[in-house]
Structure 1
Amino acid sequence: MYRSYPNVSPVANKYLGHKLLLKAQADHENHIKNARSVLNLSKSTPRFHLSSNFRHKHVKEHELSMIKQENERLRRRMIKAESLVDTHNNYVLHSLNIIQRQREKIQHENEFHRLQKQISQVRPSYPVRRFQQDYAKKQDVKKRLSRFPSNDK
């Protein structure tokens, strides 16, 4: 094969020239396989101090810390003045418009019973005799489909 393959560079021995060409091709293929991109396509490092979300979050944290400090200062003053806050929630619930709610509840129940009665009195639009005939036809078709074919050849 080395005799029929033309050498690019002039050599004295065609066989050794062919070997040299094959080695150069193999090296070139390895270089292509191991090639890496020159461009850096990775994400850039985030700079949190420049983003508006970070500034907004930082301002919120500062506000919360100021509120906590103020609450702590007020709590200390209350303890110093010996004024205690009653945190027990034992008060009587007062329902607003209880009579109107009861009327609405009765009205809804009456509407529900009326609809239930109306639904139960509806006549079927599909006659029983026709239903039985259709059922018989379907059973007949089912029997014919499930029967095995005869072995007559």
Structure 2
Amino acid sequence: MHRAYQPILPCGNKYLQLKWDKAKYEEHKKRIQAAKPLVDTSAPATYGHLHLKLGKLKLEEDRLSVIERDNRLLLEKMSCIMRTKGQIDNKNDYKAKSLNGEKRKQELRRVNQENRAILDRITKSQPQYQVQRWHEDWQRAEKYMANVARYPRGRCKSQSRKHHTSALSICPHAYITPSEGAKLWSLSIRMLSLKSFYFYNQSLHEQ
């Protein structure tokens, strides 16, 4: 009894109710399988002009055709040049020239002329310093120094020579080089001349 079909609602014949419920269930499954969704979950439609850009392809094809045409023309020109000698001579006989070469030559000639003129003036110019007059003045000054000197002028040289010989006799190892001797001699002459000039000025003041 428990294995028999148990309908939800009370019925007069369970077998007929079972058959009717099965038929309703099958019809319900068919309706569920044939039901359409209210929300469209399918993939969006694809448009060919978005994926295949014909305009861009056309521009690329035109560019390639132009490049191919230029290459063909260049190849034809090169082949024509190789077959013939060409219409242009590539020899260049042009001599390099300066735009201001003549001006620079004129300037160089002018500078040379001026330099020669300066050299001529220098070589032909007379000296401004009178050496003969200097020599005469010096002789006159020596004469004045000899007049105002307390001792004869040659005596100083003889005394210095004697002093030198005496120093060598006292100390044989003491030796004065010629340069040092010349320096000492010039120093003594300067001192003597200064002393003579001092006495000469003093005598003038006394007169």
TM-score range, shorter chain: 0.3 to 0.5
Greater C-alpha radius of gyration: 2
Structure with more contact order per residue of length (Cα contacts < 8 Å, sep ≥ 6): 2
TM-score by length of 2: 0.29
TM-score by length of 1: 0.37
